[in-house]
Each structure stands twice: as structure tokens, then as C-alpha cells.
Structure 1
Amino acid sequence: MEVSKYAEKNAQPRLELHLIHHRQRFNWDCGVSCVLMVLPPTQREHLLINFSEVCKAEGFNKSTWTIDLCYLLKRYGVSHLYCTVTLGIHPGYRGQSFYNKILQKDEERVTKRFLEAAERGILVRKASLTCEDLVHHLSESGPVILLTNASLLHCDICKVNKFTSELRGCLPWGTTYTGHYIVLCGYNLSNEKFLFRNPTFRNRVCAMSFAMLDEARCSYGTDEDAILIYSRSWT
């Protein structure tokens, strides 16, 4: 039997981290819903009870960027590392007509949050992660929150090829790109597939090949944003 090239550095051939699923309630809260899935029970309950107040206090209200999710994780004491290929706002997005409004509203806040991240104890690293990096982190440390292009997501278990009518995109891009956060929660090295939870749906675990997920998470518009969560409490 052929051995996966990803198996050498990972003792576990298959892994699923058992998270408590949270389905997004609005058209903008997929990222916050992913944060809820990785919070410890007490912190999760606090955020659910004080949802509107916390979102307002964090300043993002109904428009979340990955850096906002990092500040939210920091608020609740969750150790994490934010990896991205763009520190700040990609200059190319300013030329996108569909992005002008959100940039006008969010640019100052997002830029400030990147600049103040280090002094707030939020770790941000300019890096492009490989599938091997993601598998290693899942095996050794915890789940991963990923920004993806939802139009490229599908599920080999649900047999859903496109998250279209059911999908609630979180970022107001054009038809070729819909920003959407998911939580990586496992993998299967024998068939080289990642397991993930999609806050669009009710409680379920989806699966997607390494190659196809790479395409979705590395699509233009995502900046290859990944938040690595550090906790060994998942089994």
C-alpha cells in the first residue's frame, strides 16, 4: 500500500478533533462562529450570552477580518498564531470595485490592529503554510481557523459540490470570490483529505482533499490567512 508523503512526521494516520459545532446566525459571523468552536466551554458561554456587546467592544461590529478574530481569541485567553502572506491590507484590493466600501469603513481599524498586535501579545507571522504544516499542527497542537474562497469549497462526505444557495458569505466580494471561514479539525493521511467544520451548516464534519482545500485557501483574496490554535484539550 502506498504511504502518504505526509505520514513521515506524523504518528497518527487519521485524526479528528472533537469540537462543539456552532452554526452562524447572520450573513457576517462565520469567523466569530469559528472562534466559538475553538473556545473552552466557559469562554464560549460568555461570548454567546454577550455576543452583541463583545462584537461592539471589539470594534468590528458586523465586519470581521482575520486580525479581528485574533483579538477576540486574545480576549478569551486562547493561545494562537496568525499566519498570512500579507501583513495588513493587500494593496491590490483597493482596485476592486466591490471592495471599496468595506475598505473605506474598515481600513483604519484593521491597519491599527495589525500595528498594535505585537504589543497586545498577538503573534502575527508572514508565512505561507503548506498542507504538511497544517497536518503537523493538527496532530501536535490543535485546530486551525482558515479563510477560504467559498466558491471553491465542497464536501466529499455531504456530496455538496458548491456551497451556493445555502452558503452565507462573510465578506462582500464579487461572484468569483466569497470569503468564508472554516475550522480544520482533522485529516486522513490514507486518502489525503482534511476534515473541517463549516459554520454555514448544522452540526457536521466535512472532508476535502488536500489539493482542493489548498486551492480554496490559497485563492486570491484570502491572503492564505490561517489561525493556528494551540491547545491539547481536544481528542
Structure 2
Amino acid sequence: MNMEGQDSPVIDKSLSSKDLPNKHLIQLCHYKQKSNWDCGISCIAMVLSNKYRDHFIKNISKICKIEGFNKSTWSIDLCYLLKRYNIEHRYCTITIGVHEGYRGNSFYHNILSKDEYRVNKRFKEASKNNIYIENKSVTLREILEHLINGPVIVLTNARLLCCDICKFNKVTSELRKCLPWPITYQGHYIVLCGYDIYSQKVYYRNPTFNDHVCIMPVLHFDQARKSYGTDEDIIFVYK
């Protein structure tokens, strides 16, 4: 979903009056992913309490096998992991189950054949496992309002992420403003952990990197989370 030609998303500064503080940052214990497939479970490690995190990290391989996803995680799998540790959460997505249109997508091509049945089954069994899914698109305001209560796990297109601090993808994002070109999809989970209303930035932790908080303009964040391939998957975690 290319946002060009649409109104740029902004953080409504009126929110700071009484609804939200001007600036908010959630302190999290960072966890760096070990492989190219485990960004999602690394995000889970970041939102767990110390007690649960230690158990999870020590038993990741065993838990992945028990849960059935091994080295291929979908957002619904992350919800089952949160449920395993009794973490209250809310999962919103614009697609229930596997999106049929992804069969021709290069990122999903090799994944769908082995994951489709399992993923669709997990969606169907979610309710009886007390995992509640909302079939909806989420507004930026909803995301910011939730951050007062806890972090947010967001599926993004890694090629659209950037950081003002470490300059990750910064040059690419600036060039794209002048020379737009098609962006391929590379799914990647991040943990959103704060915002600054007046600078129009959001704070997030990227499991690709070592321990630090990345800062990204809200426009780029919205593009990354709404990119085709993400299904606008977002998991609100209550702490």
C-alpha cells in the first residue's frame, strides 16, 4: 500500500492536551534475534516479564516445536505464544487466515505451501483457545492511545523501516521521495514502544539490532505497517 498521493498521517497535537502526554517511552528489555526467521519470537521475548522471558528464552526451540511453527512464524503464532504465558493482548488484522492473493508474492511463495493449512487452522481454533481477533484496520490514534497501557507488536515491511538515530534505511527513504520505485515486501516484526507528539516520531525496538531504541517519522511508520503483505497485523499487549 503506497501512501503517495494520500494525506500524510500525522499525530494530532490536540491529543497532548489531556488525553495523552506529549512524549511517552516504555522501557523494555531488548532481545536480538539469532536468525533471519525469529524476529517475531524475539519481539515476544521483549514484551514478557523477566520471569517468563527467562523461561521462554531457555526453551525457545522446544516451544517452537510444540507450537508447530518451527522456523516459520505468523502473527497468529505470536498470539498463541502470548496466551501460553497468560499475557493479555488484542490482535487486529484486515485478513482472517491466509490471504489468497499472496500465492504470487515472492516473499510468501515458498511459505504458503507448508504453512497454509496450519495457519488457517490456528485462526479457526483461536476463539476456543481464548484468543480474540478483530478483523479491522487500526488507526494511528488507537495505536498511540494504547501505548500508555503497553507495547505493540507490529508486522512491517522491513524495506520501509528507517531510523533517525542509526540511519538504518535513511538514505533509501530519502531517495524514494525523489525517485519513487516499486518496493518488494520483506516481512519483519518490531515492537513499538513510544511516541513524541511534537516531533511526529514513534519509538520502536528492532530485533535485528543490538540494544537501542530506534526513532522513525510517523509517516514512514504508517507506510511500513500498511505495506502490501502485512495484512496490517498488529498485536496490542497489555502490561
CA distance 1:178–1:189, change in 2 (3 Å): same
Q: Check conservation: 1:79, 1:229, Cα contact below 8 A.
A: yes
1:176 — aligned with what? 184
CA offsets, 1:9-32, max 9 Å, x none? 633110000000000001100000
Pair 1:90 & 2:95 matched: no
Q: Check conservation: 1:143, 1:229, Cα contact below 8 A.
A: yes
Question: Secondary structure in 2 aligned to 1:86?
Answer: coil
2:200 — aligned with what? 192
1:207 and 1:36 map into 2 onto residues whose CA distance is: 21
Pair 1:38 & 2:53 matched: no
CA offsets, 1:64-105, max 9 Å, x none? 000000000000110000000001111111233552321110
Instruction: Return 5+ residue gaps in structure 2 as ranges.
Output: 1-11, 173-182
**What TM-score comes out, normalization by structure 2 length?**
0.87
Pair 1:157 & 2:165 matched: yes
Q: Give the alignment's Cα RMSD to 1 decimal.
A: 1.8
Residue 192 of structure 1 deviates from its aligned partner by 1.3
Q: Which runs of 4+ in 1 moved over 3 A?
A: none
**What TM-score comes out, normalization by structure 1 length?**
0.89
Question: Secondary structure in 1 aligned to 2:36?
Answer: coil
Q: Check conservation: 2:159, 2:169, Cα contact below 8 A.
A: no
Pairwise mapping of residues 11-90 of structure 1 onto structure 2 (< 5 A)? 11-90=20-99
Pair 1:142 & 2:117 matched: no
1:208 and 1:90 map into 2 onto residues whose CA distance is: 28
Q: Check conservation: 2:43, 2:189, Cα contact below 8 A.
A: yes
Instruction: Return 5+ residue gaps in structure 1 as ranges.
Output: 165-174
Question: Secondary structure in 1 aligned to 2:113?
Answer: helix
Residue 177 of structure 1 deviates from its aligned partner by 0.8
CA distance 1:64–1:10, change in 2 (3 Å): same
Number of residues of Structure 1 aligned to a counterpart in Structure 2: 219
1:116 — aligned with what? 125
CA distance 1:145–1:97, change in 2 (3 Å): closer
CA distance 1:79–1:31, change in 2 (3 Å): same
Q: What code does the residue aligned with 2:86 have?
A: G
Q: Check conservation: 2:93, 2:134, Cα contact below 8 A.
A: yes
Q: 1:125 aligns with which of 134, 143, 148?
A: 134
1:218 and 1:60 map into 2 onto residues whose CA distance is: 25
Aligned-residue identity in percent = 55
1:167 — aligned with what? none
